[in-house]
Every structure is written in structure tokens, then in C-alpha cells.
Amino acid sequence: MEGALYAWAQRHTMNPDGIAYLDITDAFLQGAWKNIVNGHWSPLYPALIALTRACLGASARWEFPIAHLTNLIIYVCALASFTFLLREMRRSLTHLREPEWTLIGCTFFMSCSLHGIGLSLLTPDLLVACLVFLASGLLLRIHQGDSSWRLRAFFGAALGLGFLAKAPMLPVAFIFLALAYVASARRPGRLRKALCSAVIFVLITAPYIYFLSKTKGRPTFGDSGRLNYMIFVDQSIDEMNWRQIGPGQKNAVHPLRLIFQNPAIYEFGTPVSGTYPPEDDPTYWTQGLQPTFDLAAQLRALKQSLFTLFSIIGRQEGSLLLGLFLVMSAGYFKRRYFLRQWVLWIPATGALVMFSFVLVASRYIAPYLLLVWLSLASAIRFPDNPTTDRWRRIILLLMLASPLTILGIGTVHRIRMALHEDLHHQEEADLYPWRVAELLKRSGVRENENLAVAGMDPYSAVGWARLARTRIIAQVDPAETDFFYDLSVNNRILPALAASGADAIIAQRSKTHPPPGWQPLGGTGLWMYSIPTPKRSPDRPVAQ
């Protein structure tokens, strides 16, 4: 019920990553297989959205809600996987009391899925959490002595699907596979059954890695880690134009094409398809740029990661820390029970360490933090007497106070948002992309036409561009927008944009009105200029 409420309240929201995934769903539905193999975005999540779109056959108006429906379905699957994990923990630790353990687990899960990850963003993180919970439950069952071949096959399949959901799962999967081998020590057929999981994992992951490596011309399982390292550790990439900055600046093999200077205008209509090509495959535009290791930069990134990690824990689970401190002080924390859950907290710790070297974000680490919290909670054991029963209830309520409070506030906020949208839907900000898309159609913009954007962050335009079924193929650097509204400069810019293949220019309204020939798009704050000039090849000289 809680997840459905969150999904309903956020059904019209969209993020740039979600637009890139929706573009890949088009490739699935159209059979354009070469556009599915992508160095940055993994295929499983858009495949599930494509399946939902194919089943419901919704129009563009309902495309965003349909995508959020997929998120809700994944949320239900994640809940089922987590329930399986809780049951396996309960089997291995008989001292856990069923009602209290279920309450703790459900609170942890809702805090992780609804607050840590969320349903407002179209990202595969909840899908990753679902598969992490499933793999953890299967690993616990292996640790408890179940050595069936079917279990090992399911375990390998869960890890393989985890990689297809998100590339960073590959190193985490290796930890899971190694622990499965160690967990089945002194059992007959140990090596053969470990190999069974590994073979299933390879059979699922190898085809995609092969085609991706073939497309990139080098061995790779994904370049998102390289790109994120350059953005957040090296800080040597300009995310707006995908160009390397700072000392030792190099040129990418396929940079965004500079077609005008003062203001800087970049064109990127080919060869990457999609609503906004720089977002649809950033690894193509940054190919040839390599991160450089700098100890000071790495230490700075680790410091920031630790700060973010402690901020997340303090903000979302502060009462858990306080309750755990009281339990440990009173001697109710049994270390042997915590150590018995090593198959849970070792891979979780490994994942946390991996992310800390590049970037820690709540939606990345939420499932792994949850595994650590479950391991710690399972180690609490109170003696069976009336006095400790009362203290157990007090400490339990104290530990759950913070996540329950956050969830309660979030629920009230989502209800108010949903009611406000239903009563005042014309003013709801989430419907802004659809209103702009409709105004573009009324202004003569047809499907599959190319647009240039100016005076705005292009990432803020991808929602309405997607709904209008148009492509953004050129952009004016937002930092140089003032030049764009100068009449003399504007007269020289328009031919360059026309030569780029743009059919129209969409600009954010500035302090002054744009030059003659522009028309406003309703009350959206956007202006449009239609370009009648024939298109040209992107291979052109730079205008001054």
C-alpha cells in the first residue's frame, strides 16, 4: 500500500536517466538491437519497461506513468525477495522472535526502498536491490546446508541478472560467488556446485559483455565506472559538454562538435540515436579520455564518501545507532550471532568500500546498508523475563523511531501531493513536460524533428522532448546564453543551427524578449523559432 501511494504521487515525474532508459525501450520494441548495447546503461531495466509498454500499449501521454508502474512491480518483487531473506535469517537464528523480527524487517525495507532508493526516479537501483536480497537469501540457504543443484543455478542466475541490471554488480557478484564456495566447506561436491553457479552466471553475462566489447573495440563490461571516476574523483570532465578540463587536457575520439563560438554551440545529431544523444551514450562522446590516479584526489573522494555515508546513516537511521549503542552497553548484543551472518555483511561491506572510492549515493548503497543493519539486529538477544521484555519493547521502539518518523512524514507529503495534483492538475509542476510537448505540436513541430536548445540546462528539456517524440541535436552553452539574445549574434547563430540539421530552436525566456521571429510557447517561459533552412551534413567548419 505504501509503495503504491508513493508510485501514484510520483507517476508524472521524470529524470534524465529515465529518458535514456525509455529511449532504450524503443530499441527493444523496434528490434534495433545495436542501440541496446550501451557502455553506460545496462539492458535489463529498460527491457522490463519495454515489456510493460508492449503489454499495455500506452500512448505518449501515459508513457511516464507506465514506466512508474514498472517501478511499482519491481517494488513488489523486491518485497518478495526481502521476505524470503527474512525467512532464511529466521531459520538460521531461532532466537529471533517472529512478530518483532517482521516489524524490524518491514521497517528496514520501507526505509531502504521508499526513502533510500525511492520510486520517483526511473533508475535500476530498486531492481538491483531486489536481486541483491534474492542472492543474499539464497546464499544464506547454501550456508545452512542446502546443496541442491537447482539452488546453485538460481543463485548464479540472480547474480547474472544483477549484472544486467547494473554493471557495478559484477565485482559484487564475484564476492557472492566466492562466499558461496566458502560457505559450503566440507560438503561433498563443493567445487562442482560452486562451478554450477559460476557457469550459469557466465552464460547470462558473457553474451552481453561480448557484444559490448565488440561494439567498443576493446574488452569491457561497461564504462560507467570510468566516467564516474573522471567526474567525481578526477573532476576532469565537463558534464555539460563531455570535454576534459584542467591540466593535461585531451580530446575525445568523438567529442561533441563545436559549430559556433561566442556563444559556444555544440552539435551531436549523429551517430548516437535517442532524445538527447549526449545522455543516451556518454561513453561514446568521452571515448579516448582516461582517468588519472591522483592520491590527493582519491583521498578527497574517500573523505567525501565517508561524510556522505555518515550523513545518510545519521539522517535516516540515527535512532538505530542510539538503540544499538544502548543494547551493546547493556550486554544484549551477542557478537557470535553477528559473526554467524558473515555471508550477509561481508559482501555488503565489500560493496560499500567499492562505492566509497568513487561515489556514495543513498540509492546506490541502500540495499547493502540494509544487509548490515539486519546482521546487527539479528545479534540482539534479550533474556526471557518480564523486566527485559519491557526494555526490549522500549529499545525496539527507539531503534525504529527514526525510520518510522521519516516514512510517516513522507507518506503524508505524498498524500498531499496526490490530492493537490488531482484538484489542481493544470498547475502541477510534474505535468509541465506534457504541456510543453502539446504546445510544440500545436506550434507545428512534428514527430522525429530535430531541436536545438538555448538558455537552459539541456537535461531539463529531455522530458518534453521525449513526449513530443523529438530529438535535441544541438545546444547553446548555458554559461554563454547572454550572447544568444544579442540581435547581431542571433542573426549569425541561426544559419549555423540550420546547418546542424535543427528544425527549430527552443529557448528559455531571458530578461529581454528574443529577437523578431520567435513565438512564445504558452505560459511555459519558453520561446520557439522555426528554421526553414535545408539540413546539411554535420561535417562543417566552425563559425566565428
DSSP assignment, residue 358? T
Cα gap 282→241, rounded to integer Å: 10
Cα gap 371→317, rounded to integer Å: 14
Cα gap 544→528, rounded to integer Å: 24
Length of the chain counted residue by residue: 544
In the chain, where the domains are located: 2-217+296-416, 257-280+424-544
Q: Given this model, what pLDDT does residue 492 score? A: 78
Q: What is the pTM of this model?
A: 0.88
Burial (CB count within 10 angstroms: exposed 0-12, middle 13-18, buried 19+), residue 223: buried
Q: Given this model, what pLDDT does residue 426 score? A: 39
- C-alpha grid cell, residue 277: 544523444
**What are the start-end ranges of the H helices in 424-521?**
432-442, 462-467, 481-484, 487-499
Q: Given this model, what pLDDT does residue 126 score? A: 96
**Of 144, 140, 146, 136, residue with least CA distance to 193:** 146
**Of 11, 46, 18, 121, residue with least CA distance to 463:** 18
Residue 479: strand, helix, or coil: helix
Cα gap 500→493, rounded to integer Å: 11
What does each of the 544 residues of the chain score in pLDDT, given as a tens digit? 666 767 777 777 889 999 999 999 999 999 988 889 999 999 999 999 999 999 998 778 889 999 999 999 999 999 999 999 998 988 877 555 677 777 778 888 888 888 889 888 899 999 999 999 999 999 999 998 887 899 999 999 999 999 999 999 999 999 999 999 998 877 777 889 999 999 999 999 999 999 999 998 899 999 999 999 999 998 888 877 787 776 656 778 888 999 988 888 999 999 999 999 999 999 999 988 888 888 999 999 999 999 999 888 876 665 555 556 555 555 566 778 788 889 999 999 999 999 999 999 999 999 999 999 888 888 777 666 666 666 666 666 666 666 666 666 656 655 565 555 544 443 455 568 888 999 999 999 999 999 999 888 889 899 999 999 999 999 988 776 665 666 556 677 888 888 889 999 998 866 556 667 788 888 888 889 898 755 544 444 444 4
Residues 6+ apart with CB under 8 A from 164: 42, 43, 44, 204, 205, 208
Q: Given this model, what pLDDT does residue 69 score? A: 93
Per-residue buried b or exposed e for 362-382, using 16+ beta carbons within 10 Å of the residue's own CB: bbbbbbbbbbbbbbbbbbbbb
Cα gap 533→259, rounded to integer Å: 16
Residue 349: strand, helix, or coil: helix
**Of 162, 60, 94, 148, residue with least CA distance to 434:** 60
Nearest 5°: CA angle at 252, between 251 and 255? Answer: 100
